[in-house]
Amino acid sequence: MTFDPFGDSETSGYLKNAVGSNDPAVIKRLERDAFRSNLDEALAALKDKRALTYQDVLDTHKRLFSDVYPSWAGSDRSVTAPDLAITKGGRNDLFAHPGEVKLATEYALSKGQDQGFMRENPGTVFGTLAYAHPFLEGNGRTILAVHSELCRRAGIHIDWSATKEGDFLKALTAELDRPGRAMNEFLRPHVRQQALDVTRTSESLQAIFHPAPGERKYLVSPHSVPDLPDAVGRVLSEHRDMQARMRVGIPSPSPELRAALSASPEEKGQRLQATELKKEFGKLEAAFQQRLSGADRSAIRGNQIEVLAQSLKVTPEIARDVASLVKQVDAGRQLLRGEERIVAPSREPGLSR
């Protein structure tokens, strides 16, 4: 990533993200996890507003992404990058200038809250919000949340599950180039004449960004850490240890394993004796042993979730999940060891080794 409006990506990471990373895969995962965690709250807040204002758009972005971009989430480009034009394909006229972001967004909101216009032209409203492009990152998800609330108020919803990403991006690019037609034509077959409640809207939007099969293999993904060419002695040894840890991913537990780990002690011991669950349990336990440092373990014992999140380069939500799982796995191991001692054959009295 080369986009660096703050000029400090080398020290603070891409756009001052919460874990200080410049890894696109890490940023993508952080944004996806934050969206999934905070969407219900953001949609509920929008629903409670009598009329949507520009401040509501800013607040939606802050609710969705403050876990990822804590220093600027909820601030638009007129604040974060007032002199920087957004370019695409060499053009700088496809998105609003920072000084015009508020005006463009307010125009989109005014048209979107005209229910008759919204029912007939949901694509135009979406395209205008996209043109406004209020934020440095997180525009797409923020726009989807706001647009979905405008749809709900107009008595419709978009069946996003029936759309294809490539066709969507092609239509959006055409809409930005020549507003008023392409996005309406793209969305028209997918408009449903029914408003969705917050829960169903959330499920619909989260499905758009749901990981592809196999993508959610890891709760904490493995990472490659560059060598330190000039490192020697203890510094080199510690760096190599860290490289080895970071190459290990922590697998995402299956629903069955999560249920077993959350069960009562007696039921937990019984469930973990099942062959497949016992095997999965062993892999998760091994991953914890290999990936987590002594400092990570200390953070878990002290409930220092932010410290753990920084170390693992994950959101606080994921770090909290990891901490909980570590404690559950440790308890499960104690149960299994106890049961193994019970069933282990004992030597007959009087027999020596």
Q: What are phi and psi of 38, to 5 degrees?
A: -110, -5
Reading the block at residue 94, the tokens are: 């496809």
What is the domain partition of the chain in residue ranges? 10-208, 216-341
Q: Which residues pair with 218 in a beta bridge?
A: 251
Query: Are residues 46 and 146 in contact, defined by beta-carbon separation less than 8 angstroms?
Result: yes
Q: Tell me how far CA of residue 265 lies from CA of 100, 268, 272, 281, 328, in angstroms.
A: 60, 5, 11, 15, 10
3-class DSSP state of 283: helix
pLDDT digits (tens, 9 = 90+) for 167-212: 999 999 999 999 999 999 999 999 999 999 998 899 889 878 765 5
pLDDT digits (tens, 9 = 90+) for 6-59: 999 999 999 999 989 998 888 988 998 899 889 999 999 999 999 999 999 999
Q: How many angstroms separate the CA atoms of 132 and 322, rounded?
A: 38
Cβ-proximal residues to 262 (8 Å cutoff; 6+ apart), any chain: 328
If you average pLDDT over residues 135-140, what whole number do you get?
Answer: 98
Query: Are residues 326 and 298 in contact, defined by beta-carbon separation less than 8 angstroms?
Result: no
3-class DSSP state of 281: helix
Q: Which amino acid is at 337?
A: R
Q: How many angstroms separate the CA atoms of 246 and 225, rounded?
A: 7
Model's pTM, two decimal places?
0.67
Which fold would CATH assign to domain 10-208? Fic-like fold (1.10.3290)
Rg (CA), the chain: 25
